[in-house]
Amino acid sequence: MVDDAFVVPIKSFDLAKERLRRGGVPDVTSLARQLALGVLESCSPRHVIVISESHDVTAFARDNGAEVVEATASGLNEAVQGAYEQLSSRFERLIIVHGDLRRPEGLADFTPDPGVTVVTDHRGLGTNVLVVPTMIDFHFQYGSNSALLHLLEAQRHDLMVHLITDSRWRFDVDEPSDLEGP
């Protein structure tokens, strides 16, 4: 069994970032692809697995050296849950990273502590990076207040919890204003 792997869920580039599209950001499809490429490159040379329902994304992932797990569910929680269950026998822990980090540099050097690590978004509410040991019945809680919900899920399993609120990875791109700043 290998120690860990990065797992990057990526929605179809043509459908991703609906709030950016509504906000008038030009060429969101290319931006989504560029952000995902930055994350994949920043995780390398460690093992990277992309979860997606999109054939374009899975081809993109393979072209960029990532393994692919085709999502059988359309929602983020269901897709990550399915991949977690599928990969648990191969890895001791999974590092789930959103594919829209604005500054993904340094991911390959990330050495999380034992237990569960939650790296929040810049608001302290969302979960941009989540480290979870495998072989437990962990339930993913992406969406509103996911950072708190993931912490509670870790506590339910009596796991050591590490909360990181000041990481460079706290900046993901969901809103037009997320394209500005540090």
Burial state string for 155-177 with b = 16 or more CB within 10 A and e = fewer than 16: eeeebebbebeebebbbbbeeee
User: So where are the chain's domains?
Assistant: 2-16+29-179
**Average pLDDT, consecutive stretches of 10 residues, N- to C-terminus, the chain (182 residues):** 88 88 87 96 96 95 96 87 95 97 96 95 96 96 96 96 96 88 67
List Cβ neighbours of 30 (8 Å cut-off, separation of 6 or more). Answer: none
Q: What is the pTM of this model?
A: 0.94
pLDDT at 48: 98
Fold classification of 2-16+29-179 is: Spore Coat Polysaccharide Biosynthesis Protein SpsA; Chain A (3.90.550)
**Residue 2: what pLDDT?**
64
What integer pLDDT is reported at residue 25 of this predicted model?
Answer: 85
Q: What are phi and psi of 129, to 5 degrees?
A: -135, 135
